[in-house]
Amino acid sequence: MTTLKSCHCSHELSQVLLAGMQEIVGQSGVMAALNTVSLMGSKDEALTCFEPGGGNLTFEGIVSLFKAMEQLYGIRGGHGVVLRSGKAAFKYLLRRFGVQMRLSELEYRLLPAPQRLKAGLVALGEILSFHCNTPVQVAENESAWIWRMDQCPWCLGRQSEESGVCYFITGLLQEYFSWVSGGRYYEVREAECQAASGLACVFQISKQPLD
């Protein structure tokens, strides 16, 4: 746990996360969550994040924010809020990093679907990897794409009875696949989670869309 303080996401990525959250619960909801975080005794990094040039969310701050949502909206309600925040955050991520990810280039858009889905996922992994300073590995097998984080910003230090708690990234990945496939629904499942004694947080995305 000694590494907690040094792990943080960039200011840009922190803002993407908060913008997604704000879209779901409004500014007052985000402020209520930040106040709850403050009351829980976890740091003001989260609070300064709205200020120009200010704060980066630490992993600890992110996890506290998600916990605050559970306190404010109940466990299941909080999970729903975080999942939908992840989905909503995708478009802010696209706005901020889309050019860098080369997702609007013709060359990318002309790729055959399977390659396009995978290439965008790899690009998304690189962005999160860089901006959260933690490795993301993307792999695939015959039936699924696999997204793996060995040091997950979304659940660091958490322990849960559930099989997985990383709803934000689940939502973000769901929305990415919907966007890249023109609105189809790909099931994203957290197969392994560090909060549930997993070695890493591992997400499996079925290559077969549900619709």
First to last CA, the chain: 42
Q: How far is the CB of 164 from Zn ion (least distance, A)?
A: 7
Comparing CB distances to Zn ion, the nearer of 103 and 153 is 153
Given the rule CB under 5 A, which residues bind Zn ion?
Answer: 152, 154-155, 166, 193, 201
Here the tokens at position 195 are 């909060």
Q: How far is the CB of 159 from Zn ion (least distance, A)?
A: 12
Comparing CB distances to Zn ion, the nearer of 123 and 193 is 193
Q: How far is the CB of 148 from Zn ion (least distance, A)?
A: 10
Query: How far is 104 from 191, CA to CA, in rounded Å?
Result: 31
CA distances from residue 132 to 112, 114, 145 in whole angstroms, order as listed: 30, 27, 21
Q: How far is the CB of 54 from Zn ion (least distance, A)?
A: 26
Q: How far is CA 157 from the centre of its chain?
A: 16
Contact 58/4 with Cβ under 8 angstroms?
yes
Comparing CB distances to Zn ion, the nearer of 137 and 181 is 137
Q: How far is the CB of 90 from Zn ion (least distance, A)?
A: 18
Comparing CB distances to Zn ion, the nearer of 119 and 173 is 173
Comparing CB distances to Zn ion, the nearer of 68 and 201 is 201
Query: How far is 153 from 120, CA to CA, in rounded Å?
Result: 21
φ, ψ (nearest 5 deg) of residue 20:
-65, -45
Nearest to 191 by CA among 157, 143, 130, 120: 143
